[in-house]
């Protein structure tokens, strides 16, 4: 019957097998102790050859104890082949880590701790079978061993662990700490024979300390992740996914047919090529299907990343946008790589993520070290041709990368797009899943019945009429989900049954998307009162340089340029976006507005519902005229600014400041009439009068700016044209700048004005909200909740902002001091450097020596010169050293003795260190023979090494352990003889005055024993001092 301990052990073993994977488990099961020892011997021999041995004897205690007690423990834990899951991981880790000294040394130290922890099993050998506490300790000990191996394997199995070692190891090895501490506590159990209560206390304390350490590590990881995500500034893909998920909330079964498709299943289960192309006609519901596949892959692959491309969206239309999003998503699932990316961010010193080369490097390392990765990309056809080619080239490169041996680190990619020439050519060799009308029929029909029931309820039509309506729309849809949606939404929006039946007339049901858009626009523009507002909103959405939020649009329409005021109360729209644009526009979860589909924007331009040039010019006039209002005067007192804040005066500020020059540039590409030119000149003149300041230095004016001036002055000269050129160029430079200049403008005081306004908004939140002067809800409705914003117009956080000033300060530190130290626990990770050379100096002064010791691979030692013990002369060649003639006495040296470390490993020769000699007067064999007080056996012992002192001294003969023992004995005996001779001189002087009988009696053999040197014994140590007499 299985005990509780054996059950816990079996769970730990099963968990270890699951985490290791079938490939490694099979390899571990076949590993024996003989194979482990053979592997250790090979590693040790290789390290000896490379002269970087690391004392692998630290392994012996653990291996020896596990070998002798393993079988007994297997019986105790009711399992078989247990030791294979000790020898196997150990062999794998030692083989993989042996090439990096620090990692290898860390493993050896941990195995040494484990060996010392289980050493007292020797004393508990008889108790293992009968003592419950000892059994529990043994089970817990093996659980810790499995956890250590599992933690180490997770790191060293990564295909590119060496590339990220320097950045990640110092952080990752901290994970070994709780395991090592737990193993040390087991030693207390075995040694102190603790009670059950004491054991539980030890366990509880260990759990608490482990949890505290994990919390600290988690906090540090989250801090690094936030910093990296601010640097990447990627699109909010989570809100995109939420939006598309909410669309499917009415019919949760819609689109699940694709999850059963043969091509999709083969791709997901990695039984086919790593790439799959899902394509279909416009409006077939590809994006919704993509969101369904994202949800499905998240259930199977933790490392699932996705991206939705959008035409004209600055954060969703390029390879760099894709890369920043993928890096951000994958780091959330693989925190082990955070130190590596954080170090790259600090080392590069970039204020923003703007390098495609760096993006590819980071993606390569992250993807190769993140296990099974699944990437789903939708809307590739909405990118420009150049960006599409970059993305396709990168995807093909990633998919073609060779997989690892157990297929545990691989990337699969699914693309969703329309079928066009560029994509078809690039993906012609990969499987293609085409969405047909047959595939979408059931989904469209389910949607029609769902929406049809709502229409039936609204207009009180019969079941038969509802059925006829559903069948009619289904027939006209032609497999286009978007078309069916537009038609049904248009029918639902009718204001009377008469209009409804008119729309339902068979001839009026559109069969193409353009027809559907035209039908919707006709209904929208029928209302003459809302028509201009609808066209204005559609035009703004077509020409906007980024996605606009509804509060920004309300701020824009509240601007009264003629009255030079911002009047929210009387000018804001009462109708919402759906009332003005029907089903052409959707509101995203983050509050931004977007067209229902990219084809809607294209149709508005193609059908000339929106005159892009005119709208661009109107938006330029709006932005410039808005910034010229009295509320933006630099001399305005703070009290007036605060009053303006409470009325929503500055709701449109962020957009107008950033994009007035871009709208102006686009609007002046074509010809403009005189009235528009004069209006524009009037607003520009007021703007320059309020905010222009003469630059302190000259700068180049590009030809494109001169072209703008020429177009403005086509209808007459303009006195402020020179000032306009300076202001335009400085504004463009500011928005495209990523240095400290992005927060300043050499020709305009706009940055100072913005700073005053934002300071007053922040004070209004922190001070006045509590007093009730300004309602916080009013402020949030005008300016959003993220009120703490970056001052750099080139940064996306200029308009996105942060919820707290602390988050904003952390972000600003990366702008002002972009170069941060990436060494763990270094205060310079927070207090960063403004210049790269300052960071390099800090690392060299503070961390360089430590980094070299910890991370550098050892180099081969330089051959040392041969030194004569007598004359101190050095020789580079061994033959010259042996032949030289030295007759001078040896110089005095320290009596400090050195030792020679002799490896106990078979087959590895011992190495010799240069000895420190002592000036000893060696006695000749005749002098030894004349020492009458020595016994004959002592004389024989001394004569042989004295005879051979020349050979021993300068290295004749083989370099072997016996050689060094002989040399050590010879020198020890020489010293003893010298001391003995010195001690006997006073005695000899006294003996000369005695008679011959006394002398003979004194030198008799019976008395030698009592007067012989007290330390005459053979030495077995390695301390030695060579003689001071030259050899022949």
- Per-range mean pLDDT, top range of 462-476, 760-774, 808-822, 905-919: 462-476
Instruction: Compute the average pLDDT of residues 105-109.
Output: 84
Q: What is the C-alpha to C-alpha distance for residues 237 and 383, in angstroms, rounded to an integer? A: 17
Strands 432-434, 275-279: parallel, antiparallel or unpaired by DSSP? parallel
Residue 810: partners with Cβ closer than 8 Å, 6 or more residues away: 226, 227, 230
pLDDT digits (tens, 9 = 90+) for 398-415: 877 655 544 556 889 999
Tokens for 652, please give them. 């449109």
Q: What is the C-alpha to C-alpha distance for residues 406 and 207, in angstroms, rounded to an integer? A: 34
Tell me, what's the pLDDT at 134? Answer: 63
Which among 899, 868, 898, 896 is positioned nearest to 1029, based on CA atoms?
A: 868
3-state DSSP call for residue 243?
Answer: helix
pLDDT digits (tens, 9 = 90+) for 870-919: 666 777 676 676 666 654 444 443 333 333 343 333 443 444 444 433 44
Q: What is the C-alpha to C-alpha distance for residues 1003 and 996, in angstroms, rounded to an integer? A: 11
Q: What is the C-alpha to C-alpha distance for residues 484 and 632, in angstroms, rounded to an integer? A: 49
Please, which pLDDT band fits residue 289 given cuts at 50, 70 and 90?
very high
**pLDDT above 70 covers what percent of the chain?**
70
Whether 620 and 589 map to the same domain: the answer is: no
Instruction: Specify whether the CB–CB gap between 296 and 255 falls below 8 A.
Output: no
Instruction: Specify whether the CB–CB gap between 410 and 373 falls below 8 A.
Output: yes
> Last residue of a domain, which of 511, 542, 567?
511
Whether 404 and 304 map to the same domain: the answer is: yes
pLDDT digits (tens, 9 = 90+) for 738-769: 666 656 778 899 999 999 999 999 888 887 54
734: enclosing H helix or E strand: helix 721-735
Q: What is the C-alpha to C-alpha distance for residues 963 and 965, in angstroms, rounded to an integer? A: 6
Instruction: Compute the average pLDDT of residues 474-503.
Output: 86
Tokens 């294979």 found at: 84
Q: What is the C-alpha to C-alpha distance for residues 110 and 127, in angstroms, rounded to an integer? A: 26
Whether 592 and 646 map to the same domain: the answer is: no
Q: What is the C-alpha to C-alpha distance for residues 889 and 739, in angstroms, rounded to an integer? A: 72
Whether 324 and 463 map to the same domain: the answer is: no
566: enclosing H helix or E strand: strand 565-566
Tokens for 469, please give them. 């309506």
Which among 618, 536, 556 is positioned nearest to 782, based on CA atoms?
A: 556
Which among 1024, 1009, 902 is positioned nearest to 961, based on CA atoms?
A: 902
**Is residue 209 one of the residues assigned to a domain?**
no
Q: What is the dihedral of CA 520, 526, 531, 537, to 10 degrees?
A: -10
Domain CATH code at residue 427 = 3.40.50.300
Is 922 a residue whose pLDDT tops 90? no
Tell me, what's the pLDDT at 540? Answer: 95
Q: How many domains does the chain have?
A: 6
Domain CATH code at residue 563 = 1.10.10
Instruction: Compute the average pLDDT of residues 61-69.
Output: 81
**Is residue 220 one of the residues assigned to a domain?**
no
Give the structural domain span for 535.
Answer: 528-610
Q: What is the C-alpha to C-alpha distance for residues 186 and 317, in angstroms, rounded to an integer? A: 57
DSSP 927-992: HHHT-TTS-HHHHHHHHHHHHTHHHHHTT-S--SHHHHHHHHHHHHHHHHHHHHHHHHHHHHHHHT
Whether 569 and 669 map to the same domain: the answer is: no
- In terms of Cβ atoms closer than 10 Å to its own Cβ (0-12, 13-18, 19+), residue 441 is middle
Tell me, what's the pLDDT at 658? Answer: 92
Is 315 a residue whose pLDDT tops 70? yes
Which among 279, 237, 283, 244 is positioned nearest to 258, based on CA atoms?
A: 279
Which among 51, 90, 55 is positioned nearest to 70, based on CA atoms?
A: 90
Is 720 a residue whose pLDDT tops 60? yes
Is 395 a residue whose pLDDT tops 80? yes
Is 78 a residue whose pLDDT tops 70? no
3-state DSSP call for residue 560?
Answer: strand
**Is residue 522 one of the residues assigned to a domain?**
no
Which among 290, 314, 317, 431 is positioned nearest to 385, based on CA atoms?
A: 317
Instruction: Compute the average pLDDT of residues 489-499.
Output: 85
Whether 756 and 710 map to the same domain: the answer is: yes
CA atoms within 13 A on the CB side of 924: 5
Is 257 a residue whose pLDDT tops 90? yes
Tell me, what's the pLDDT at 829? Answer: 60
Q: What is the dihedral of CA 433, 437, 438, 444, to 10 degrees?
A: 110
Sign for the pseudo-dihedral over CA of 436, 440, 442, 447: negative
**Is residue 858 one of the residues assigned to a domain?**
no
Across all residues in the chain, what is the average pLDDT? 77
Instruction: Specify whether the CB–CB gap between 922 and 974 falls below 8 A.
Output: yes
Instruction: Compute the average pLDDT of residues 370-389.
Output: 90
DSSP 774-803: S-HHHHHHHH-S--B--S-TTSTHHHH-BS
Tokens for 441, please give them. 């029929």
Tally of residues, the chain: 1032
Tell me, what's the pLDDT at 909? Answer: 40
Whether 554 and 664 map to the same domain: the answer is: no
Is 3 a residue whose pLDDT tops 70? no
Is 781 a residue whose pLDDT tops 60? yes
> Last residue of a domain, which of 554, 582, 610?
610
Worst-scoring range by mean pLDDT, 92-106, 685-699, 739-753, 1008-1022?
Answer: 1008-1022
Tell me, what's the pLDDT at 307? Answer: 95
Tell me, what's the pLDDT at 339? Answer: 84
Tell me, what's the pLDDT at 616? Answer: 94
More confident site: 909 or 23: 23
Is 263 a residue whose pLDDT tops 50? yes
Instruction: Compute the average pLDDT of residues 112-137.
Output: 63
Instruction: Specify whether the CB–CB gap between 493 and 523 falls below 8 A.
Output: yes
DSSP 19-50: HH-HHHHHHHHT--HHHHHHHHHHHHHHHHHT
Is 841 a residue whose pLDDT tops 50? yes
Is 860 a residue whose pLDDT tops 70? no
Whether 606 and 654 map to the same domain: the answer is: no
**Is residue 710 one of the residues assigned to a domain?**
yes
Q: What is the C-alpha to C-alpha distance for residues 787 and 398, in angstroms, rounded to an integer? A: 41
Tell me, what's the pLDDT at 915? Answer: 42
Tell me, what's the pLDDT at 717? Answer: 87
Is 833 a residue whose pLDDT tops 50? yes
Whether 993 and 871 map to the same domain: the answer is: yes
More confident site: 248 or 317: 317
Beta partners for residue 593, in sequence order = 587
Reduced DSSP (H G I as helix, E B as strand, rest coil) percent helix, strand, coil of the chain, to 5:
60, 5, 35
Q: What is the C-alpha to C-alpha distance for residues 253 and 448, in angstroms, rounded to an integer? A: 14
Is 850 a residue whose pLDDT tops 60? no
More confident site: 507 or 660: 660
Tell me, what's the pLDDT at 155? Answer: 83
Q: What is the C-alpha to C-alpha distance for residues 541 and 593, in angstroms, rounded to an integer? A: 8
Is 955 a residue whose pLDDT tops 70? no
Q: Provide the phi-psi class of 608: left if phi over 0, else alpha when psi is between -120 and 50, else beta.
A: left
**Is residue 1026 one of the residues assigned to a domain?**
no
Whether 414 and 453 map to the same domain: the answer is: no
**Is residue 1021 one of the residues assigned to a domain?**
no
Whether 458 and 553 map to the same domain: the answer is: no
CA distances from 562 to 20, 531, 536, 681, 824 (A): 72, 22, 18, 14, 59
- Per-range mean pLDDT, top range of 60-64, 160-164, 453-457, 888-892: 453-457
Instruction: Compute the average pLDDT of residues 280-303.
Output: 91
Whether 263 and 135 map to the same domain: the answer is: no
More confident site: 46 or 15: 46
Instruction: Specify whether the CB–CB gap between 416 and 288 falls below 8 A.
Output: no
Instruction: Specify whether the CB–CB gap between 118 and 141 falls below 8 A.
Output: yes
Is 350 a residue whose pLDDT tops 60? no
Which among 308, 304, 322, 318 is positioned nearest to 375, based on CA atoms?
A: 304
Tell me, what's the pLDDT at 715? Answer: 81
CB count within 10 Å of CB 81 equals: 9
Is 920 a residue whose pLDDT tops 50? no
Quick check: pTM over 0.75? no
> Last residue of a domain, which of 769, 786, 803?
786
Tell me, what's the pLDDT at 420? Answer: 79
Q: What is the C-alpha to C-alpha distance for residues 163 and 826, in angstroms, rounded to an integer? A: 22
Could you report how far apart the first and last alpha carbons of the chain are, in Å?
A: 81
CB count within 10 Å of CB 41 equals: 15
**Is residue 590 one of the residues assigned to a domain?**
yes
What is the tally of helices (H) and strands (E) in the chain? 48, 11
Tell me, what's the pLDDT at 832? Answer: 58
Q: Provide the phi-psi class of 203: left if phi over 0, else alpha when psi is between -120 and 50, else beta.
A: alpha
């Amino acid at each position: 019957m299985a005990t509780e301990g054996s059950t816990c052990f079996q769970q730990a073993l099963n968990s270890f097998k699951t985490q290791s994977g079938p490939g490694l488990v099979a390899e571990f099961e076949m590993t024996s102790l003989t194979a482990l020892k053979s592997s250790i011997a090979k590693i040790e021999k290789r390290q000896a050859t490379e002269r970087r041995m690391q004392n692998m004897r630290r392994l012996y205690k653990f291996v020896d104890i596990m070998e002798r007690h393993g079988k007994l423990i297997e019986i105790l834990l009711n399992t078989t082949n247990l030791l294979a899951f000790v020898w196997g991981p150990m062999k794998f880790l030692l083989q993989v880590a042996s090439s990096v000294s620090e990692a290898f040394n860390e493993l050896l130290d941990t195995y040494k701790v484990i060996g010392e922890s289980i050493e007292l099993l020797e004393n508990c050998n008889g108790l293992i079978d009968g003592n419950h506490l000892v059994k529990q300790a043994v089970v817990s000990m093996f659980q810790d061993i499995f956890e250590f191996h599992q933690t180490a394997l997770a790191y060293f199995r990564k295909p590119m662990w060496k590339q990220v070692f320097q950045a990640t190891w110092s952080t990752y090895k901290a994970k070994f700490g709780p395991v090592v501490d737990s193993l040390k506590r087991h030693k207390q159990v075995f040694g102190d024979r603790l009670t059950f209560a004491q054991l539980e206390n030890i366990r509880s304390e260990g759990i608490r300390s482990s949890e505290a350490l994990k919390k600290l590590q988690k906090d540090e990881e989250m801090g690094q992740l936030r910093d990296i995500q601010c640097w990447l500034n990627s699109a909010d893909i989570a809100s995109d996914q939420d939006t598309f998920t909410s669309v499917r909330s009415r019919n949760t079964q819609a689109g699940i047919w694709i999850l059963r498709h043969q091509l999709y299943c083969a791709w997901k289960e990695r039984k086919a090529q790593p790439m799959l192309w899902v394509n279909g006609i416009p409006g077939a519901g590809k994006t919704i299907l993509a969101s369904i596949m994202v949800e499905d892959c998240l259930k199977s692959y933790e490392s699932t990343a996705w991206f939705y491309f959008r035409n004209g969206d600055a954060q969703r239309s390029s390879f760099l946008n894709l890369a920043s999003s993928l890096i951000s998503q994958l780091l959330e699932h693989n925190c082990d790589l955070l130190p590596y990316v954080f170090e790259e961010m600090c080392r590069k010193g970039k204020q923003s993520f703007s390098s495609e080369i760096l993006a590819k490097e980071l993606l390569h390392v992250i993807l190769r070290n993140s296990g099974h990765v699944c990437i789903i990309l939708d809307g590739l056809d909405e990118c420009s041709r150049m960006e599409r080619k970059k993305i396709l080239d990168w995807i093909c490169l990633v998919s073609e990368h060779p997989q690892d041996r157990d297929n545990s680190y691989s990337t699969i990619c699914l693309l969703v797009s329309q079928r066009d020439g560029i994509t078809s050519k690039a993906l012609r060799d990969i499987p293609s899943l085409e969405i047909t009308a047959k595939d979408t029929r059931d989904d469209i029909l389910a949607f029609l019945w769902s929406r049809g029931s709502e229409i039936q309820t609204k207009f009180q039509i019969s079941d038969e009429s509802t059925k006829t309506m559903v069948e009619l729309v289904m027939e006209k849809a032609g497999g286009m989900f978007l078309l069916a949606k537009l038609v049904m939404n248009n029918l639902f929006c009718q204001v009377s049954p008469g209009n409804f039946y008119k729309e339902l007339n068979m001839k009026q049901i559109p069969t193409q998307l353009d027809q559907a858009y035209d039908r919707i626009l006709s209904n929208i523009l029928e209302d003459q009162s809302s028509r201009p507002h609808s066209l204005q909103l559609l035009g703004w959405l077509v020409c906007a340089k980024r996605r606009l939020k509804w509060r920004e649009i309300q701020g824009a329409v509240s601007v009264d340029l003629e009255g030079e005021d911002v009047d929210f109360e009387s000018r804001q729209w009462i109708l919402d976006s759906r009332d003005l644009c029907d089903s052409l526009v959707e509101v995203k979860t983050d509050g931004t507005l977007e067209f229902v589909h990219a084809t809607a924007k294209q149709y508005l331009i193609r059908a000339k519902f929106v005159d892009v040039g005119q709208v661009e010019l109107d938006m330029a006039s709006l932005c410039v005229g808005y910034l010229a209002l009295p509320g933006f005067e630099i001399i305005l007192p703070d009290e007036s600014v605060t009053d303006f804040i409470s009325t929503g005066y500055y709701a449109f500020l962020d957009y107008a400041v950033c994009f007035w020059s871009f709208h102006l540039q686009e609007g002046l590409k074509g010809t403009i009439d005189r009235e528009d030119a004069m209006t524009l000149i009037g607003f520009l003149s007021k703007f320059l009068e309020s905010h222009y300041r003469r630059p302190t230095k000259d700068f180049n004016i590009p030809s494109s700016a001169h072209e703008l001036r020429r177009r403005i002055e086509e209808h007459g000269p303009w006195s402020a044209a020179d000032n306009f050129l300076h202001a335009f160029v400085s504004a463009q430079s500011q928005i495209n700048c990523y240095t400290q200049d992005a927060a300043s403008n050499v020709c305009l005081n706009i940055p100072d004005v913005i700073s005053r306004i934002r300071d007053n908004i922040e004070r209004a939140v922190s001070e006045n909200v509590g007093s009730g002067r300004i309602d916080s809800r009013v402020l949030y409705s005008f300016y959003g909740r993220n009120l703490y914003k970056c001052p750099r117009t080139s940064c996306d956080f200029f308009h996105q902002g942060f919820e707290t000033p602390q988050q904003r300060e952390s972000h600003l530190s990366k702008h002002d001091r972009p170069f941060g130290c990436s060494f763990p626990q270094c205060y310079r990770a927070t207090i960063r450097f403004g210049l790269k050379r300052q960071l390099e100096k800090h690392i060299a002064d503070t961390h360089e020596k430590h980094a070299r010791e910890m991370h550098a691979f050892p180099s081969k030692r330089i051959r040392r010169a041969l030194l004569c013990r007598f004359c101190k002369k050095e020789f580079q060649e061994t033959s010259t050293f042996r032949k030289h003639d030295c007759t001078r006495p040896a110089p005095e040296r320290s009596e400090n003795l050195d030792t020679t470390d002799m490896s106990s490993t078979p087959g590895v020769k011992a190495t010799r260190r240069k000895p420190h000699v002592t000036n000893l007067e060696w006695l000749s064999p005749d002098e030894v023979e004349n020492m009458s007080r020595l016994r004959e056996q002592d004389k024989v012992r001394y004569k042989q090494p004295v005879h051979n002192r020349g050979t021993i001294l300068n290295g004749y003969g083989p370099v072997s352990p016996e050689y060094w023992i002989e040399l050590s004995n010879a020198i020890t005996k020489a010293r003893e003889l010298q001391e003995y001779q010195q001690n006997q001189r006073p005695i000899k002087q006294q003996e000369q005055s005695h008679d011959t009988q006394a002398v003979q009696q004194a030198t008799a053999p019976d008395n030698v024993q009592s007067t012989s040197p007290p330390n005459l014994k053979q030495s077995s140590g390695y301390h030695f001092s060579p003689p001071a007499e030259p050899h022949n």
